[in-house]
Structure 1
Amino acid sequence: MNETNLTKGNILIVDDTPDNLRLLSTMLVEQGYEVRSVINGAMAIMGAKAEPPDLILLDINMPKMNGYEVCQHLKADNQTQEIPIIFISALEDVFDKLQAFSVGGVDYITKPFQVEEVLARIETHLTICRLQKQLKEQNKQLKNEIDQRTKAEEKFACIFRTSPNPIAIVGLEKGEILEANPSFLKLSGFTEQEVIGHTANEIWIGKDKEAIATAIQQLPQTGIIYNREFELRTKTGELKIVLFSLELIELSGQLCALLIANDITERKRLENEFISLVSHELRTPLTSLMGSLDLLESGQLGQLSNSGIKVLNIAINNTERLIRLINNILDLERMKSGKITIDKHYCNSADLMQQATETLQVMADQSQIQIITQPVDIEIVADSDRLLQTFTNLLNNAIKFSEPMTQILFSTEIINKQILFVIKDQGRGIPADKTEIIFERFQQVDASDSRTKGGTGLGLAICRQIIEQHNGKIWVESTLGKGSSFFILLPL
């Protein structure tokens, strides 16, 4: 369509009277239309097919082929059937007008015509035609989008049904399970009727069932959750250790959680057996090795050269790191299995913060880092040793990953009958995709940290176990290049 603005277009005039052609052509050209003129029906059909116009003005009484026949030919051809045709004729009989509409005309103008009437009719039908084309194009686009979505849904449904991973879809509004694949039903031990329409709290048995429901409800705020470990029991009471991944999706206009599970029960059993065996078998020779290295360092077996002392220090540092690693592994496993009990008693929060700061003060001074402690003097019920272990671990990390001449703020405040401890540094920060997984075992921001910083990858996992056994919560907020803030929230 060649248009100069929204109401102009290409018009084909068909009339065997030259005066009528000149009058209409001049009138329309002056109004900004592009006009073509032909004097008979055959030429009209050929011209319309060669270059389809936006609208046709068609006379009725013409030799050889009248206007009705021309219109029928054009409407029978797929290439020209959508072109609006306005009849212009001196015939005034109602029958003539009805026949014009019956063969496909959109309007009928009687000669002699008024210029304003012709222009108004043309503009109206061009606008209608244009809107119809836009609507058809929008419908076509909508159909393509529906087809693509349908294909995607069919593909998802196929993957959902056949996946070996247990998958469920949970509605966020009520927390009810909307869909569950066969693998999920097999894992839980329930039938589809027992699962669909019920919440996680209703079907799962175990200490972590409320934690799963909470994680689902908080998904809009927390975003994607990857491989969060939960302990659950099936319908038959069988204990399962499961990794859950949660992602926010929209299904038929409803916000849902896509829950993908991974049963790691057997892997955890083998892992725990291996860790226990290796840890215990390694402790005795390492303790003996450490004693031998200490004996060498004391000089009782003779003096070493400077190079020898340097090598000896490397050996001592690496042996101490191995011992720390083994002790951390055993501690973590004992905590998770409940073999280490939390000895809660009244203790002072300010005293614990001060002790932790004093313990790390020498390390902070050596690193040229200032620790600013802002305690609240309040009695809390906690295992003071374990809480002190958590504070020193977090402060130790803050010092290791901070630059010289920076500060670490160790503060606390009371919030709704809970006490919040905050350790805020000005270090390198933690990427957003790792703020959750750093609390898992053997997870570090940078793999080289275990070599350069001497870490074991277990410190934060132990901290989380300690805080969770206090019915508390630990998390981190961080900005790359600006620092991290670790939060510990405990009930008073």
Structure 2
Amino acid sequence: METMIGLPFTPKVLIVDDKPYDVKILEMKLREVGCQVAIATDGLSAIEETRKFKPHLVLLDIRLPDIDGYEVCKRLKNDADLKEIPVLFISAYGDVTDKVRGFESGAVDYISKPYEFEEIFARVKTHLMLRSLQIQLEEQNKRLEMLVEEKTKELVEVNKKLAMLDATKNELLQLVANDLRTPLTGLFSVLDSLIYEELKDQLTKDQLKAYDKAKQQMLSTLEDALLLTQIDVSNTDRVYGEIPIQQVIKQALNNVRPIATSKSVSIVECEAKDFKIFGDQNLLTRAFTALFEIAIRFSARHERIQLQLGTFDHHIELSVYVIGYTIPPDYIGTFFDLSSSARLNILGGELGIKPAIVHRIIALNGGSISVKNEGPAGVLFIIKFPFI
């Protein structure tokens, strides 16, 4: 007789039958093929023995002195600790109705009496192998769950450390920006006095203009850096809500009109439309202001900047078309990146970090921005926001 080979454990089988002769023969045969065997002679003791013995498989007769095998099987399947143990019915009741009822109660197989032990052995071995695979899978899942839990804890700790480092970095940047503002203001005050009072007659108009430009660019970059760190550090001061986009555009245009006037650039406003977006109005106004400043930098003198507002593909879309300078093709893909060298190589570095600020604020408020060259001497910025 073949033994229960190929199993990573010694199989444990519970026999539930009230017929001593049948039990004795079945027990002897199962032990011969390497099984540990326990016996129960009624339904209630079968359930109790299953809890204690923890068999890998139950051979269950239908006719028992107290509760029948169907009820025993149902109770085993309703027990969270026992429901995975396969149950095979062995019974003289061989009608289709009896077999269907057995399967409905939760059994995995049904063997009719009288039987040949070779048949029982083949079926028992098959279900023990299936049970073995199930146990291995359960153990593997537990190991994976433990591994996932362990790695999750590690990631949580790493994220905590990264958050602390990021917060420290942002606090340091804020500190540097704030600490630089006061001494720079004092320094430029002294320089203004020196240049415009004592050295004015010794300097050309171009030199004075270059000084003013460098001064404004340095102070603007410092303010932009401070704003960028404020965006990254916390969202506690942000107030989100529905905003008329036309109102944001109008306020931003008012902010940049002096710059546009100084360059003789006119801005053709878009037609008033009652579109609303969701976001922080203060931040979005600053983003649009920065974008319009960028547009003015790209514009040639005495040219016009064209704004258009509409809806496309389920989005609210604002386009800003500028005639003047274009973006070198190598820098279009990284135009809005803070670390990109584009900001240093386009328009003599006049843009500073404004493109990065515009991109971050718009993304933070659920929108997107893109840029491309349009024609031989034009740039087109497109901002999109979802409908609300």
TM-score (norm 1): 0.41
Matched, 1:318 2:214: yes
Partner of 2:176: 278
Correspondent of 1:336 among 232, 239, 246: 232
Q: CA deviation at 1:305?
A: 2.0
Matched, 1:364 2:284: no
Q: CA deviation at 1:334?
A: 1.8
| CA 1:312–1:370: 2 relative to 1, 3 Å | closer
Letter in 2 for 1:475: S
Secondary structure of the corresponding residue to residue 490 of structure 1: strand
Give the letter aligned to residue 409 of structure 1: Q
Structure having the larger proportion of residues in strand: 1
Identical residues among aligned pairs (%): 21
Tell me the SS of whatever aligns to 1:439: coil
| In structure 2, distance between residues paired with 1:309 and 1:407 | 27
- Give the structure 2 partner of residue 447 of structure 1: 344
The reply on whether 1:388 has 2:273 as its aligned counterpart is: no
1:461 aligns with 2:334: no
- Residue pairs, 1:297-312, within 5 angstroms: 304-305=200-201, 307=203
Within 5 Å, give how 1:5-24 maps onto structure 2: none
Deviations 1:238-293 (A, max 9, x none): 2299xxxxxxxxxxxxxxxxxxxxxx999968865663453233222112113334
Secondary structure of 2:342's counterpart equals coil
Cα distance between partner residues in 2 of 1:296 and 1:487: 45
Q: 1:362 to 1:269 in 2, by over 3 A?
A: closer
Is 2:135 aligned against 1:239? no
Aligned with 1:429: secondary structure? Answer: coil
Alignment pair present for 1:408 and 2:328: no
In structure 1, give the amino acid aligned to 2:181.
R
In structure 2, distance between residues paired with 1:399 and 1:234: 49
TM-score (norm 2): 0.50
1-side partners of 2:323 and 2:354: how far apart? 20
Unaligned runs of 5+ in 2: 1-143, 146-150
Equivalent-residue separation in structure 1 for 2:210 and 2:230 (angstroms)? 30
Q: Secondary structure at the match of 1:319?
A: helix
- Alpha-carbon RMSD across the aligned residues, in angstroms, is 4.3
| Preserved CA contact (<8 Å) 1:430 1:479 | no
Q: d(CA) in 1 for partners of 2:304 and 2:212?
A: 31
Deviations 1:144-200 (A, max 9, x none): xxxxxxxxxxxxxxxxxxxxxxxxxxxxxxxxxxxxxxxxxxxxxxxxx89xxxxxx
The yes-or-no answer on 1:327 pairing with 2:223 is: yes
Q: Deviations over 1:376-434 (max 9, x none)?
A: 42252433332222222222222212333543211111346542111122333334543
Aligned to 2:187: 289
Superimposed CA distance per residue, residues 310-363 of structure 1 (whole angstroms, 9 cap, x where no aligned partner):
756644543332222222112112211225633234443223323333443443
Q: How far apart are residue 481 of structure 1 and its match?
A: 3.1
Q: Residues 350 and 375 of structure 1 are in contact (CA less than 8 Å); yes or no, is this contact kept in structure 2?
A: no
Answer yes or no: is 1:427 the counterpart of 2:324. Answer: yes
Matches of 1:320 and 1:271 in 2, distance apart?
Answer: 26
For 2:263 and 2:282, locate their aligned partners in 1 and report how far apart those are by CA, in whole Å: 26
**Paired amino acid for 2:244:** N
Asked if structure 1 preserves the Cα contact closer than 8 Å seen for 2:374 and 2:380, the reply is: no
**Secondary structure in structure 1 of the residue aligned to 2:238:** coil
1:427–1:303 CA distance, 2 compared to 1 (3 A): closer
Partner Cα distance (1:487, 1:308) in 2: 41
